[in-house]
Amino acid sequence: MIANQSMDTRTLSDSTLATHLLDELADFVRREQAHQCEAFERLWAKPEADRVLEGRCIVGLEVAGPVGDGIWRLRCAENDACFREGDLVRVHQGNPRNPLLDAVIVTAEDTTVDLKPWSKASLKALQPGLRGLVIDPSWLDLTKMYLDALEAVEKSERGRERVLPLLAGTRRPKLDSVEMDAAMAAAREDGFDEAQAEAVASACASDSCWLVHGPPGTGKTRVLARIATRLVAQGERILVTSFTHRAINNLLEAIAAMGVERRLIARIAPAQDPRLGLPQFESFHGCPLDGCDSGYVVGATPFALRTHRLRDVDFDRVIVDEASQVTLPLAAMAMLAADRYIFAGDDKQLPPVSLTLDPQEAVSMSIFGRLTGNGFDTLLPVTRRLNAELCRWPSETFYLSRLKPHPMAAARRFPGTVPGSGFADALGPEPGLVWMAVPHEGARTCAMEEVTLLADMIAELVRGGVPLREIGVVVPFRRQARLLRLNLRGKLGPHEAIGELVADTVERMQGQEREVVFLSFATSAPDFARSIQRFLFQPQRLNVAVTRARTKVVILASPALADYARRESDDPGAATFVSLLERARRIDVDLPGAATPEC
- Residue 5's pLDDT is 34
- Give pLDDT tens digits for 392-417: 999 999 999 999 999 999 999 998 77
d(CA 113, CA 106): 8
pTM of the model: 0.90
- Give pLDDT tens digits for 93-142: 999 999 999 998 988 888 999 998 887 767 778 889 999 999 999 988 89
- Report the percent of the chain where pLDDT is more than 90: 74
- Residue 495's pLDDT is 61
Residue 8 has pLDDT above 70, yes or no: no
Residue 509 has pLDDT above 90, yes or no: no
Residue 3 has pLDDT above 50, yes or no: no
Q: Is 241 helix (H, G, I), strand (E, B) or coil?
A: strand
- Residue 55's pLDDT is 84
Of 6-10, 13-17, 167-171, 302-306, give the lowest mean pLDDT range.
6-10
- Give pLDDT tens digits for 371-385: 999 999 999 999 999
Question: Do residues 61 and 135 lie in contact, with contact meaning Cβ atoms separated by under 8 Å?
Answer: yes
Mean predicted confidence (pLDDT) in 333-344: 98
3-state secondary structure string across 247-297:
HHHHHHHHHHHHCCCHHHEEEECCCCCCCCCCCEECCCCCCCCCCCCCCEE
Residue 12 has pLDDT above 70, yes or no: no
d(CA 418, CA 223): 39
Cβ contacts of 422 within 8 Å, gap of 6 or more: 456, 460
- pLDDT bin (cut points 50, 70, 90) of residue 80 is confident
- Give pLDDT tens digits for 401-460: 999 999 999 999 998 776 666 788 899 999 999 999 999 999 998 999 999 999 999 999
3-state secondary structure string across 200-221:
HHHHHHECCEEEEECCCCCCHH
- Give pLDDT tens digits for 241-258: 999 888 999 999 999 999
- pLDDT bin (cut points 50, 70, 90) of residue 599 is low
- Residue 323's pLDDT is 97
Domains of the chain: 45-137 (2.40.30.270), 142-380 (3.40.50.300), 391-588 (3.40.50.300)
d(CA 382, CA 399): 12
